[in-house]
Every structure is written in structure tokens, then in C-alpha cells.
Copies of this chain bind each other. A is one copy, B any other.
Amino acid sequence: MTQDEGTQLAELFRLLGEPNRLRLVAACLDGPRSVGDLTEEVGISQSLVSQHLRLLRAGRLLKQTRSGRNVFYDLPDCHVRTMLTNMMDHVLEPEDHSHEE
């Protein structure tokens, strides 16, 4: 892992390292969600949702699509979707301690 790769990778983790932001991303894993839906689902203020969505957009973890009055957020491509899904699965799967030292 080069110095630069490390910095980029850390930036990705940093974005996912805030509970509200992680929930926003997780909520989009099953398909596009409007800001209103996300606000309700995550249970924080609309303003705060928007602030976090801006960061996630800037980090290319979510993309924005307007449809009428609503703006929908979704993962930008299948690579990111696969990566995040796998990361979630790995981290959330029940731990097997049988091989611990």
C-alpha cells in the first residue's frame, strides 16, 4: 500500500466513520432514497442530512439525481455497492472466536 493509497483509503473510511453518515449510506444500499426518506429513516434533522450528504457526494460514495421536487441519493456504481456490501457483511457477521489465540 503506497502512501497515497493509504491516504485515499483512509479518507473513505473517515467518511464511513460517522454513525449518521454510515446509516445514510447503508440506507441507500437497497436502492435510491429521497432526502425526505433518509431524514425519516435516520432520524436526524433535514439540515444535518443535507450536510452529510454533501460530504458523501464529495467523496463519491453517493450520487445525486433530482426527480421533480425530490432529490434521490444512490450508490454511484456497482463497484462501490459491492465493496460496501462486502464490508458490511464482513463486519456484521457473527464473530467466530474459536481460532483466537
Contact = CB atoms under 8 A, between A and B. Distances in A.
A101 B77 contact: yes
A58 interface: no
A8 B99 CA distance: 22
Nearest to A95: B79
A90 B87 CA distance: 9
Given A23-B1, A78-B99, A92 B14 contact: no
Nearest to A27: B1
Interface of A: 1, 3, 5-7, 9-19, 21-23, 26, 76-79, 82-83, 86-88, 90-92, 95-97, 99-101
Given A5-B92, A17-B17, 4 more contacts: A13-B22, A14-B14, A77-B97, A79-B95
